[in-house]
């Protein structure tokens, strides 16, 4: 249903004079230790199937992070950020203070409150790419590279990228750089 390609924005040094070489970033993937009981992770931690949610294996530490996903087919899905306290079996997410997510219907939920909504006629369709930026205060959304101007905030603490789906939901591909 959705494919996810998260990429954290980071500054890379060239190892030249005055620059310390950066350590290789860990491989970020969906975390089999933090997924719902009816979730299956495939493709080396890059795809999710089943009903429930899964966190990525690395928190968002940068001042600004970016990740994206591609809609493979219609269905019930959501993507956003969450703390490790989120209930990974309760979908849709956004019902508690531990998740801030864009739902398949275009609504952005946190703490069981609609924080914002994608503009009219901007619901992601099959083949679309939805991007997410998060700066530890505000989440912003992009549809096929275009800013949707629908910021949302409210979540606190260390957060991770999160994706979820219900029943026929199938593919989310994760990649963070």
CA dihedral of 69, 132, 58, 15, whole degrees rounded to 10: 100
102: left (phi over 0), alpha (psi -120 to 50) or beta: beta
Q: Which stretch of 18-27, 28-37, 84-93, 129-138 has the lowest confidence by average pLDDT?
A: 18-27
In this predicted structure, what is the pLDDT of residue 40?
86
pLDDT band at 165 (very low <50, low <70, confident <90, very high): confident
Please tell me whether residue 164 adopts helix, strand or coil conformation.
strand
Q: Are strands 129-134 and 138-143 parallel, antiparallel or unpaired?
A: antiparallel
Rounded CA separation 166/151 (Å): 25
Q: Which DSSP string corresponds to 16-73? A: -TT-PPPPPPPPB-EEEEEE-TEEEEETTTTEEEEEEEEEESS---SSSEEEEEEE-S
Q: What is the CATH number of domain 2-9+26-165?
A: 2.60.120.920
First to last CA, the chain: 23
Cα 25 to Cα 45, 61, 134: the distances in Å are: 16, 12, 19
Strand partners, 132: 67, 141
User: Residue 85: pLDDT above 90?
Assistant: yes
Q: What are 49-82's pLDDT values in tens digits?
A: 888 999 998 898 878 888 888 777 678 899 999 9
pTM here is: 0.81
Q: What angle do CA 32, 37, 38 make, to 5 degrees?
A: 105
């Amino acid at each position: 249903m959705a494919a996810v390609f998260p990429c954290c924005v980071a500054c890379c040094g060239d190892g030249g004079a005055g620059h310390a070489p950066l350590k290789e970033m860990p491989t970020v993937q969906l975390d089999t230790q933090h997924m719902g009981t009816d979730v299956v992770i495939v493709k080396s931690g890059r795809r999710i199937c089943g009903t429930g949610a899964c966190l990525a294996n690395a928190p968002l530490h940068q001042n600004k992070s970016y990740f994206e996903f591609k809609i493979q087919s219609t269905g019930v899905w959501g993507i956003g950020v969450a703390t490790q306290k989120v209930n990974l079996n309760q979908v849709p997410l956004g019902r508690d203070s531990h998740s801030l997510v864009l739902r398949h219907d275009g609504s952005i939920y946190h703490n069981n409150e609609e924080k914002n909504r994608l503009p009219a006629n901007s619901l992601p369709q099959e083949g679309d790419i939805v991007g997410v930026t998060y700066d530890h205060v505000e989440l912003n959304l992009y549809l096929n590279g275009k800013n949707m101007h629908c910021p949302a905030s409210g979540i606190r603490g260390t957060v991770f990228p999160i994706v979820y789906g219900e029943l026929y939901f199938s593919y989310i591909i994760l990649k963070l750089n």
